[in-house]
Amino acid sequence: MLASASPRRRELLASLGLTFDVEPADVDETVLPGEGPAELVARLAAAKAAVVGARRPAGLVLAADTTVVVDGEVINKPPTPADNADYLRRLSGTVHDVYTGHALRLGDRREDVVVRTRVRFRPLSEAEVAWYVASGEGVDKAGGYAIQGRGAALVAAIEGCYTNVVGLSLPTVVEAARRLGVPLV
């Protein structure tokens, strides 16, 4: 059971040849005072897994939450195209971190793992920022870009797990499920 409405997470799991149901969990995603990015994504993923796990206690439940951190500030999904442009300007020519919290539940057993990937953007011109914002691709993505789409042209390098930047670290999910006794591959 995938406790997420994200089409990217659905595509990543499907790429492994898995059959699964999708049941999103509605949780308050407000950042708590003093909460760091790793704690934030861990808490939100666990909350989503708990909601769906309570409805589906017999099966494996996977939930995740992703955020981007630049200069110590959490930036999630840009609410407007103007915000998307501002996010891209902040990321331009810098290194930022992508954190994804992964929460797996099988009955009363659980595996919780946070993965961090470092991403370096190349310097972007105003024309490139405008081009990307006009595509609309970044509006519903943490950090305002999609590395698996046109956003790949913005990224100079990554250090860590590529699929984590997309929204779900497949190696992490496979290993966590294995520890719960569920082989996914």
Residue 105 has pLDDT above 90, yes or no: yes
Q: Average of pLDDT values for 76-81?
A: 93
Token pair for residue 50? 């708990």
For residue 184, being part of any structural domain is answered with no
Token pair for residue 121? 């953007």
- Is residue 93 a contact partner of residue 130, using CB atoms and an 8 Å limit? no
Q: Average of pLDDT values for 52-81?
A: 93
For residue 140, being part of any structural domain is answered with yes
When the pLDDT of each residue in the chain is averaged and rounded to a whole number, the result is: 95
Number of domains comprising the chain? 1
What residues does 104 pair with on adjacent strands? Answer: 62, 111
Helix (H) or strand (E) holding 173: helix 170-179
Backbone angles phi, psi at 173, to 5 degrees: -65, -45
Beta strands in 22-88 (DSSP E): 60-70, 73-75
Say which amino acid occupies 139: V
For residue 29, being part of any structural domain is answered with yes
- C-beta neighbour count of 29 within 10 angstroms: 15
CA dihedral 160, 165, 167, 171 (to 10 degrees): -20
For residue 153, being part of any structural domain is answered with yes
For residue 46, being part of any structural domain is answered with yes
Query: What is the span of the domain harbouring residue 146?
Result: 7-179
For residue 2, being part of any structural domain is answered with no
108 catalytically annotated = no
pLDDT band (50, 70, 90) for residue 122: very high
Instruction: Catalytic residue, from 21, 26, 65, 97: name it.
Output: 65
Name the more confident of 118 and 6: 118
For residue 52, being part of any structural domain is answered with yes
pLDDT tens-digit map of 22-62: 999 989 988 899 999 999 999 999 999 999 999 988 899 99
CATH number, domain containing residue 55: 3.90.950.10
The whole-model pTM stands at 0.94
Token pair for residue 85? 């442009």
For residue 136, being part of any structural domain is answered with yes
pLDDT of residue 56: 87
- Is residue 88 a contact partner of residue 144, using CB atoms and an 8 Å limit? yes
- Is residue 123 a contact partner of residue 93, using CB atoms and an 8 Å limit? yes
